[in-house]
Structure 1
Amino acid sequence: MRIGFGIDFHQLVEGRDLWIGGVKIPHHKGSLGHSDADVLLHAICDALLGALALGDIGMHFPNTDPAYKGIDSKILLQRTYELIKARNYRVVNVDSSICLEAPKIKKYSDQMRSIIAGILEITGQEVSVKATTTETMGFVGREEGLVAYATVLLEPVKVI
């Protein structure tokens, strides 16, 4: 069994869409980044890569490569998962937390869990998406940015 941890940060700015966990969430600010800047999916990608010591998301999908400009982060998660499967591992579960002051995302968390589970070939019961605030402290509390944390457990696939 292998455990991986991932973390990602993005600024919140006017004029961008807010994508979290593969879901477009209505809000007056969105995440700034080279791709769609989905902080949760990026953290999960890093957790998956870290579990097998495969580097990080920036190494595999550099923000200097025009091929990834505006890319849907669900595609990045799928490609990351393909790297995991190629090494004969499967995802056991994902535990994640998103730290943002606004908007509230509870009503979107089941949809996020379903999207993530579908890509990683597990059930929604094996994906946890939680949210918290910083009680108005720091850059998150001032709504200047958001953070996501993710932990994954991988197990080797038994080859028969």
Structure 2
Amino acid sequence: MKIKVGFGFDVHQLKEGHPFVLGGVLLDHHKGAFGHSDADVLAHAICDALLGAANLRDIGHHFKNTDERWKGISSLILLTECVKMISEKGYAINNVDAMLCLEAPKINPHVPKMKLQISRAMGIDVDDISIKATTNETMGFIGREEGVVAYAVCLIQK
């Protein structure tokens, strides 16, 4: 058996009047993430973790932000595509551990629904997905609510 670990990171600006999608869940907030797709930093970080573990480069290589096919697309679709790519190389997902960093809104109430959405997109059990959140203690661009960051690690096996 071959076991590999992957790490993913993503960041997006927060802008007034934009929808805020995290983990496939639309959050009620006055600001939202800005990007080419739905700007779901959590899904993007998980995509990069999976792709990295399978040595398949990164999300930007496969889903370019200049390609109109990906404009406004749900990042859960991109996540499903990444799972297909690693499956084609013979890998299965053991687990994903993710961390969100933002000041607001509070994430804890949304974690169960995020885990459900991500588990459906990835075809894995909800218990194999961990999502945590923290603030930046009001420091920097995160503290000023100018951006949101997500980190993810995954374990895959062949």
TM-score with structure 1 length normalisation?
0.96
Q: How does 1:133-148 map to 2 (within 5 A)?
A: 133-148=135-150
Deviation at residue 60 of structure 1 after TM alignment = 0.1
- Tell me the SS of whatever aligns to 2:78: helix
Native 8 Å contact 2:54 2:91 kept in 1: no
Moved more, 114-123 or 20-29: 114-123
How far 1:52 sits from its partner (Å)? 1.1
Tell me the alpha carbon deviations over residues 83-130 of structure 1, each in whole angstroms, 9 at most, x when there is no partner: 011111110000000000000010100111111112222211110000
Where does residue 19 of structure 2 map in the other structure? 17
* Same amino acid, percent of matched pairs: 54
> Distance between the aligned counterparts of 1:9 and 1:74, measured in 2?
17
3-state SS in 1 of match to 2:116: helix
Number of equivalenced pairs:
156
| Letter matched to residue 133 of structure 1 | T
SS in 2 for 1:125: helix
**In the aligned structure 1, how far is the partner of 2:120 from the partner of 2:157?**
18
Alignment of 1:30 onto 2:32 = yes
Q: Could you tell me which of 50, 53, 63 is aligned with 1:51?
A: 53
> Gaps spanning 5+ residues in structure 1: where?
none
1:45-84 mapped onto 2 (5 Å cutoff): 45-84=47-86
Measure, in 1, the Cα distance between the counterparts of 2:33 and 2:21: 7
The offset of 1:63, in angstroms, is: 0.1
Give the drift of 1:138.
0.4
Q: Which residue of 1 aligns with 2:107?
A: 105
Q: Which moved more, 1:116-125 or 1:69-78?
A: 116-125
SS in 1 for 2:55: coil
For structure 1, which segment, 115-124 or 94-103, has the greater mean C-alpha deviation from structure 2 after superposition? 115-124
CA RMSD of aligned residues (A): 0.6
